[in-house]
């Protein structure tokens, strides 16, 4: 096809130029081509930026007309100290993110920034951005008091909390000071607060006049931070009575052997209106350790225990005891601890069982002074050089009660009693056994060593025996039939197992009263003489050769009959050294009875027995020669020849708190066998580590029992010997309030 003829324009004419341009812009098919172009949109259209901070916005880029190249974004008309770096939106990308950075010096306010987009061969495009520059927050803090008012008695103090709230990026410490009027003192804890709170304590002098006062609190945060103030209104009132307290020690001097301990009572006397707790502490020299029970005393007393380390040199050591109570001045008292060197032993040793270990032991040689004895592994040794003396010991604790025991005896008697006090040694064992062959309402008695238990068909057959002695023991058992019509008791089966040594917490083979292991008892007659108008009740026990005991029979009621029947062990079931113990206790009519008498016999082979009761026991006079610092009671009587071997005065105080008891014993080897006998609770106050709280309390109703014993067996060991023979006992009882 031939190209169209283009008219020649007239030289220099505008119309010809236009025509030429139009002709040159045409294409072969006669259509108009698209023009490459771009367009932009800002999102968000407005932006706020804080001085010294930055922000971002997005610019969307739209390409058209075949344009596909990169687009450059730039900001124009920026305020001073504000920058927006150029951003290139690469080919293929449709948006770019621009960052606005406002310097700290940027002026606040709103202005319009032009965002210009340019590209190669396309017309530039613009879009507005509304930019607001906000002033930066200034570092600061606020301060408030809670409470803002305070009432304080003259001579005391009160507190308010200083609450601090920081802002504007401030995180530093706030130094707190206060301006207070005369008579008031303000302190802070902490005085330089890095946290959100500090405690303001305002103390009013004892001389401060009553009235309202203003305390100004100032907080300083440092350079560039505005100080803050707050005011506290303080109302001072008249002084509040606070009372006081004093400390006193009893005793103020204690003697303690090295390796042992001693006690003193801290007496606390309070003056109204103070009734609060007193916290007790001690400052002691090396080698001495002091503890208190209780350490914070709300009552009138606390017990200070001083433990002296082994190897501490003999001498007197001062211990300062301090009492502290809120709002009151501390009080002190001085305890002098005399440390002595332990004795090297002696000719008497008392072996105590672990379950009944004493908390304190003392000995007396003849009529000399009581001296504390310290032990090793529950063995306490002391020397009796004068042929007779005494031992005193305390068992128990503050919860269950304290028990004072005193034995006066000849040296040989003390030696025998001490060596046999816990002959098997060690802690007792626990052993169980099932008892069968019982029909209601039968009872089964089981003895293993010195431990005894009871089984019944109604309550179950398992018997748990506790504190069974270590070593070889025998098991002795009896079945008792009960007549529910007249409540008579009949022993109808017996059982013995020899030479047992069961392990702790073990279970023995069952005791079956229906088996061939059980055997029938032999029946014997017991005749009572000298019963008079009294009524008697019969008891029976069996003691094997290795001291295993079972109390296997008791008559159901006391009667005036002179003849009684008792079950015995047949000869075929006995071993050499086994003993029956049968005794009758007689009391006169009346409630309570004025006295009681007991006649008993120990015999081996089963045989009829005759018991002759002793005379009516002599009257006993009980008095209280002293009641301070503890009650010391005295029992006096005329010795009767039938009851001339052993005497016991027992006192029991079943107080509201823990029980207190005292048992005073004497043998004929110590006191002689006739005349007037006086048994005193000894004065132990001068003995090292003695605590008067262990003694009987004055002003407390006290039950007393006096027992006098005589026996036909040889030997003078305290208590009734386990050997064939007879014994007599007379009892008197009463009450006294010392």
Pick from 415, 390, 424: which is nearest to 405 by CA?
Answer: 390
10 Å CB burial of residue 414 (0-12, 13-18, 19+) is: buried
Residues sharing a CB contact under 8 Å with residue 707, sequence separation 6 or more, in sequence order: 647, 648, 650, 729, 730, 731
**DSSP-derived pairing of the beta strands 82-83 and 95-102:** antiparallel
What's the rounded Cα separation, in Å, for the pair 270 and 247? 9
Q: Which pLDDT score, from 0 to 100, does residue 374 have? A: 86
Pick from 453, 456, 483, 572: which is nearest to 521 by CA?
Answer: 572
Give all strands (DSSP E) within 366-485, no chain letters: 370-372, 379-382, 388-397, 401-410, 429-436, 443-448, 451-456, 462-468, 473-482
What's the rounded Cα separation, in Å, for the pair 546 and 312? 44
Residues sharing a CB contact under 8 Å with residue 532, sequence separation 6 or more, in sequence order: none
Q: What are phi and psi of 521, to 5 degrees?
A: -80, 165
Strands laid side by side in the 451-456 sheet: 451-456, 443-448, 473-482, 489-500
CA angle 723, 728, 731 (to 5 degrees): 135
Q: Which pLDDT score, from 0 to 100, does residue 5 have? A: 39
Q: Which pLDDT score, from 0 to 100, does residue 721 have? A: 55
Residues 432 and 465: beta-carbon distance below 8 Å = yes
Q: Which pLDDT score, from 0 to 100, does residue 446 have? A: 95
Q: Name the 3-class secondary structure at 602.
A: strand
Two tokens, residue 144: 């408030």
Two tokens, residue 719: 């208590």
- Write out 83-140 in H/E/C secondary structure: ECCCEEECCCCCEEEEEEEECCCCCCEEEEEEEEEECCCCCCEEEEEEEEEECCCCCE
Residues 531 and 614: beta-carbon distance below 8 Å = no
Q: Which pLDDT score, from 0 to 100, does residue 1 have? A: 37
Q: Which pLDDT score, from 0 to 100, does residue 96 have? A: 93
Two tokens, residue 194: 């890095």
Grouped pLDDT means (10 residues each) for the chain, 738 residues? 40 36 39 81 94 93 94 95 95 95 91 95 95 89 95 91 92 94 95 94 92 95 92 90 89 78 90 93 94 95 90 87 93 88 71 80 88 84 88 88 92 79 65 92 91 83 88 93 84 95 94 95 96 94 87 88 94 92 92 91 94 96 94 95 94 81 92 89 91 91 94 67 85 94
10 Å CB burial of residue 329 (0-12, 13-18, 19+) is: exposed
Residues 190 and 182: beta-carbon distance below 8 Å = no
Two tokens, residue 513: 């009263």
User: What is the number of helices (H) and of strands (E) in the chain?
Assistant: 3, 54
Two tokens, residue 48: 């706020």
What's the rounded Cα separation, in Å, for the pair 410 and 405? 17
10 Å CB burial of residue 593 (0-12, 13-18, 19+) is: middle
What's the rounded Cα separation, in Å, for the pair 557 and 536? 8
Two tokens, residue 614: 């002793």
């Amino acid at each position: 096809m031939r190209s169209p003829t283009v008219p020649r324009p007239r030289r220099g004419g505008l119309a010809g130029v236009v025509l030429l341009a139009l002709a040159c812009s045409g294409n072969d098919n006669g259509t108009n081509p698209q023009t490459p172009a771009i367009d932009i949109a800002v999102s968000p259209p407005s932006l706020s930026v804080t001085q010294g901070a930055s922000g971002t916005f997005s610019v969307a880029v739209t390409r058209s007309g075949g344009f596909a190249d990169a687009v450059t974004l730039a900001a124009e008309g920026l305020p001073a100290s504000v920058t927006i770096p150029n951003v290139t939106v690469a080919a293929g990308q449709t948006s770019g993110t621009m960052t606005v950075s406002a310097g700290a010096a940027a002026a606040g306010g709103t202005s319009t920034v032009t965002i210009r987009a340019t590209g190669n061969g396309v017309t530039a495009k613009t879009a507005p951005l509304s930019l607001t520059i906000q002033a930066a927050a200034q570092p600061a803090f606020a301060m408030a008091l809670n409470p803002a008012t305070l009432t304080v008695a003259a001579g005391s103090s009160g507190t308010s909390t200083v609450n601090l709230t920081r802002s504007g990026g401030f995180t530093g410490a706030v130094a707190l000071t206060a301006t207070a009027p005369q008579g008031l003192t303000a302190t802070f804890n902490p005085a330089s607060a890095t946290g959100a709170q500090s405690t303001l304590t305002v103390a009013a002098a004892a001389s401060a006049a009553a009235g309202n006062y203003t305390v100004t609190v100032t907080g300083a945060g440092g350079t560039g931070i505005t100080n803050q103030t707050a005011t506290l209104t303080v109302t001072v009132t008249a002084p509040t009575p606070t009372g006081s307290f004093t400390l006193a020690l009893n005793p103020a001097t204690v003697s303690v052997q090295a390796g042992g301990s001693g006690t003193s009572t801290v007496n606390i006397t309070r003056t109204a209106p103070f009734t609060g707790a007193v916290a007790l502490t001690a400052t002691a020299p090396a080698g001495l350790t002091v503890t208190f029970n209780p350490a914070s005393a709300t009552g009138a007393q606390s017990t200070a225990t001083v433990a002296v380390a082994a190897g501490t040199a003999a001498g007197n050591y001062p211990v300062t005891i301090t009492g502290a109570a809120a709002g009151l001045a501390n009080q002190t008292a001085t305890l002098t601890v005399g440390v002595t060197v332990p004795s090297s032993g002696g000719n008497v040793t008392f072996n105590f069982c672990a379950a009944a270990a004493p908390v304190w032991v003392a000995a007396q040689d003849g009529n000399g002074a009581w001296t504390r004895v310290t032990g090793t592994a529950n063995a306490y040794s002391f020397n009796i050089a004068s042929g007779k003396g005494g031992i005193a010991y305390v068992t128990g604790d503050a919860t269950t009660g304290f028990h004072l025991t005193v034995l006066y005896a000849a040296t040989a008697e003390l030696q025998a009693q001490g060596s046999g006090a816990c002959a098997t040694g060690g802690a007792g064992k626990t052993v169980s056994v099932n008892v069968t062959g019982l029909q209601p309402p039968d009872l089964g008695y089981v003895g293993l060593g010195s431990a005894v238990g009871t089984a019944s068909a109604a309550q179950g057959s398992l018997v748990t025996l506790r504190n069974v002695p270590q070593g070889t023991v025998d098991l002795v058992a009896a079945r008792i039939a009960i007549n529910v019509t007249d409540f008579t008791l009949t022993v109808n089966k017996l059982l013995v197992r020899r030479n047992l040594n069961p392990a702790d917490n073990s279970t023995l083979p069952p005791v079956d009263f229906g088996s061939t292991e059980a055997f029938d008892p032999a029946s014997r007659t017991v005749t009572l003489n000298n019963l008079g108008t009294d009524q008697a009740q019969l008891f029976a026990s069996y003691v094997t050769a290795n001291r295993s005991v079972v109390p296997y029979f008791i008559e159901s009621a006391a009667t005036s009959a002179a003849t009684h029947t008792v079950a015995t062990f047949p000869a075929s079931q006995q071993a050499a050294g086994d003993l029956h113990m049968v005794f009758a206790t007689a009391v006169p009519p009346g409630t309570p009875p004025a006295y009681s008498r007991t006649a008993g016999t120990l015999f081996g082979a089963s045989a009829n027995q005759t018991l002759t009761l002793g005379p009516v026991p002599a009257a006993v006079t009980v008095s209280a020669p002293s009641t301070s610092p503890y009650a010391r009671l005295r029992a006096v009587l005329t010795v009767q020849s039938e009851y001339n071997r052993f005497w016991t005065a027992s006192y029991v105080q079943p107080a509201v708190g823990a029980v207190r008891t005292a048992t005073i014993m004497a043998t004929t080897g110590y006191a002689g066998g006739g005349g007037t006998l006086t048994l005193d609770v000894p004065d132990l106050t001068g003995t090292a580590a003695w605590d008067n709280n262990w003694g009987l309390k004055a002003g407390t109703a006290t039950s007393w029992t006096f027992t006098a014993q005589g026996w036909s067996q040889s030997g003078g060991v305290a208590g009734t010997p386990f050997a064939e023979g007879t014994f007599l006992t007379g009892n008197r009882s009463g009450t006294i309030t010392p």
